[in-house]
Amino acid sequence: MRCRDKQSCQNWYERELNEAGQRLESLRASIHRLRLDLRPDWERRLDDLRGRHNRGVARLEALRRASTECWVPAAERAEEAFLALREALLRVDEALSIRPLAA
């Protein structure tokens, strides 16, 4: 786990989720510039990313609601959700960067 107290965990996850949300918006804009025949697959990937982001937000909310005595398991679940989102974002970034240019 990345932090030692509940407040620092909340702050860190909130900041990271905000950055991921901004990255999702950037990806959405990039996908809308693709050729029409390529969009459906990328829209599905983007939907998956949005779902992962929503799970991260839900885990952050669970961390906020956790008592000061039992916040650690909530923080661990929030971290797992964020790491899954980050990994999925990296895979999409890699796929977009090796995508052949539209003719």
DSSP string covering 37-48: GGHHHHHHHHHH
* pTM greater than the 0.95 cutoff: no
Residue 103 pLDDT: 40
Strongest mean pLDDT among 1-5, 14-18, 89-93, 98-102:
14-18
User: pLDDT band at residue 48, thresholds of 50, 70 and 90?
Assistant: very high
Picking from 34, 51, 33, 36, the residue whose alpha carbon sits closest to that of residue 88 is 51
**Domains with residue ranges and CATH for the chain:** 6-96 (1.20.5)
Across 39-51, b (16+ Cβ under 10 Å) vs e yields eeebeebbeebee
pLDDT digits (tens, 9 = 90+) for 58-73: 999 999 999 988 899 9
Residues with Cβ within 8 Å of 91's Cβ and at least 6 positions away in sequence, in order, are: none
- Is residue 98 predicted with pLDDT exceeding 60? no
